[in-house]
Structure 1
């Protein structure tokens, strides 16, 4: 009995100590769709298992809506414990202002340089040789998602590339189906253009324009075909009257639309709807023309705070997010690829396997956030919002304005 009481006392003391050391950590992000919520819950579960508590700070809308709120809180002296950004240059000024925590020691302890692949992901978290963020996934926007049944029901073969897809549009429109679902959030039109550029002009042209700021190439005859394709996409999406990207994905899932140009995060919505890759829907990387993976994605930064308990909890979360178990659980539900090259993804579906194969071949390009400043990308966004919403703007006019933006970009 004494021994039993001793064990009980020790257990009680351990629980008390754990409770005393438990820390609430507010984590802000913009993952609010069904698939995104299921994925982020995996991070929260893994963090809570450390004895701390994930306090969810989801901000409805897109990154464009959430980022100004996050930045305002950090610069205004009301920082959260951790916050999502896309890895790249979005948080550059916050890091330079000394507002973000240096994670170099944690990265060295966890051998991040050895396990994170490709290395450009960690490079995007690095400034002056110091590491300031945790890349958690590889998201590529270079995908076309198609509802197989829509094509089959209308006597059409499921397209294998952009040209076949565009050729099917008139018959789909006659049947009352929106050929191309597209939401009205500003970044969606830019995403569609960037995917068309990479697929039709090629990865090298994309990198020269966004990375090397090659205005001559941006205004060239070679690029004219991309702007003509963008005009075709504008016509294909003219009856798509939804706002959110996930609402557009739902149009494809329910058969109201035939397809969507969207990043691999759309896959999470198909999974939540119990759709099977390769059976219910088809995914075409690089629009079936140039199969590449864009090594963009999401990363978490940790604002500097004066509270030692929060600082400790931040370190725990950084480690958890890169743990093999959390990487697999999160990315399988998010539709993205893991940043660790040493994890088992036997459960990957058909589309994820395509992505992994492309990544293994080294067919990768960097995301726009890694190549061009946020201010310049905003100008690009504004141009394509106007282009997709104003049918009177010609492809030639849009190309001329785009070339000017590229020539003055930083």
Structure 2
């Protein structure tokens, strides 16, 4: 039986809207109706509203949400439905990769969410024309990018576009820690909490890079990450440190990876990226038709067809090991190569300590 299913999410930028549209279209092919509940503003707006509705007795049918304490508390309080039976029936354990994606959705042996994509944060994105049209070589690493800044300033171009929201500044510093300092440095500081090492010369290099980034950002007065991306796309800024979800904004604007824009994983210094992503959760309801629609949506999200189109639109990587992307961009190929050579366990552990927004 067909029913209406309200789905809340905070994917409102151009590429994000196109990506969520892929899931909506797939769901509506089942005969059910997707009722879009987009809420602009992930951290300070969407999450509190979503949580309030669920705890206040007015739950939506499904919601995008991030892993973390807020969702864990909702699960512990009994507000969220587990989708273990759906996962077992559809063989998610055999196809979803890495296992850490399912581990992040698991509580007391039950699966409470559906991973929709893999994202990584440690990237520097560059508008190639900004450099070539001003007599500069497109940088291949952070030092070359910093060296190009004085010439860019002379041309009235902001070297580094960055939104002013706190999570973006936190993300940038975490990226500098992993990319400039390296994976071992990050683990010593955030994992081992080695205070002596944190006060040493290796970490001092990271703070030097952070000071450089602060100077490069002068003039970037926008708030949202996609507004900063627009500065880069339009050529008013040269680059941006942001997660790979930004790639969707570039491609939506008609730019081609490798030709019009470049992507430097690990800022071109330490090519190591973390692996995490988005997920959908399902509040408990008493309506059997809504429950059936929730199960259908869960299957649609991880279906091979959805994974191919959704991840290409969003600029992400698929969560299934058995899908083949159509004409993946050089940036997607870079990400896949690095992640295949990366310890997934370490990647997920670091992710839990890094602010997330994608």
TM-score for the superposition, normalised by structure 1: 0.83
1:352-371 equivalences under 5 Å are 352-362=332-342, 364=344, 365-366=346-347, 370-371=351-352
SS in 2 for 1:294: coil
Q: For 1:278 and 1:106, how far apart are their aligned partners in 2?
A: 40
Q: CA deviation at 1:367?
A: 5.5
Check whether the contact 1:87–1:135 (CA below 8 A) recurs between aligned residues. no
Partner of 1:247: 227
User: 343-352 or 316-325, which moves further after superposition?
Assistant: 343-352
Any conservation in 2 of the 1:210–1:371 contact (CA below 8 Å)?
no
The secondary structure found in structure 1 opposite 2:221 is coil
- CA distance in 2 between counterparts of 1:206 and 1:125 reads 25
CA distance in 2, matches of 1:144, 1:128: 38
Using the TM superposition, give the Cα deviation of residue 210 of structure 1 relative to its aligned residue in structure 2, in angstroms.
Answer: 3.6
Other structure's SS at 2:328 match: coil
Deviation at 1:211, TM superposition (A): 4.2
The alpha-carbon distance between structure 1 residues 216 and 124, as it changes in their structure 2 partners (threshold 3 A), is farther
Q: CA RMSD in A?
A: 1.9
Among candidates 17, 20, 23, match of residue 43 of structure 1: 23
Tell me, in whole angstroms, the C-alpha distance in 1 between the residues paired with 2:353 and 2:171.
14
Counterpart contact for 1:104–1:132, Cα < 8 Å: yes
TM-score (norm 2): 0.95
- The residue number in structure 1 matching 2:183 is 203
Moved over 6 A (4+): none
Question: Which of 29, 51, 55 is the equivalent residue of 1:71?
Answer: 51
Cα distance in structure 2, aligned partners of 1:262 and 1:303: 31
Paired residues for 1:63-142 under 5 Å:
63-142=43-122
- Which of 227, 238, 247 matches 1:258? 238
Unaligned runs of 5+ in 1: 1-20, 382-410
| Contact 1:87/1:369 (8 A) holds in 2 | no
Match of 1:189 in 2: 169
Instruction: List aligned pairs for 1:136-151, cutoff 5 A.
Output: 136-151=116-131
CA-to-aligned-CA distance 1:106-139 (integer Å, 9 cap, x gap) = 1111211111111111111111111111011011
Gaps of 5+ in 2: none
- Which whole-Å CA distance do the structure 1 matches of 2:275 and 2:70 have between them? 15
Distance in 1 (CA, whole Å) between partners of 2:202 and 2:32 is 55
CA 1:319–1:218 in structure 2 vs 1: closer, same or farther (change >3 Å)?
A: farther
Q: CA deviation at 1:217?
A: 4.0
Deviations 1:253-274 (A, max 9, x none): 1100000001111111111111
Match of 2:154 in 1: 174
Q: 2:327 aligns with which of 347, 367, 370?
A: 347
Distance 1:215 1:98 in 2: 40
In structure 2, the residue matched to 1:330 is 310
Using the TM superposition, give the Cα deviation of residue 34 of structure 1 relative to its aligned residue in structure 2, in angstroms.
Answer: 0.4
Mapped partners of 1:302, 1:235: distance in 2? 44
Q: Map Cα deviations across residues 361-405 of structure 1 (whole Å, 9 max, x no partner).
A: 2355435785349xxx69xx9xxxxxxxxxxxxxxxxxxxxxxxx
Task: Report how far residue 90 of structure 1 moved.
Answer: 4.4
Cα deviation per residue 1:225-262 (whole Å; 9 max; x = unaligned)? 11121111011001101111111111111100000001
Among 205, 208, 214, which residue is 1:228 paired with?
208
CA 37–144 in structure 1, closer or farther in 2 if over 3 Å, else same? same
Q: Distance in 1 between matches of 2:231 and 2:313?
A: 20
CA distance in 2, matches of 1:293, 1:254: 27
Moved more, 129-138 or 199-208: 199-208
CA 115–210 in structure 1, closer or farther in 2 if over 3 Å, else same: farther
Q: CA deviation at 1:167?
A: 1.2
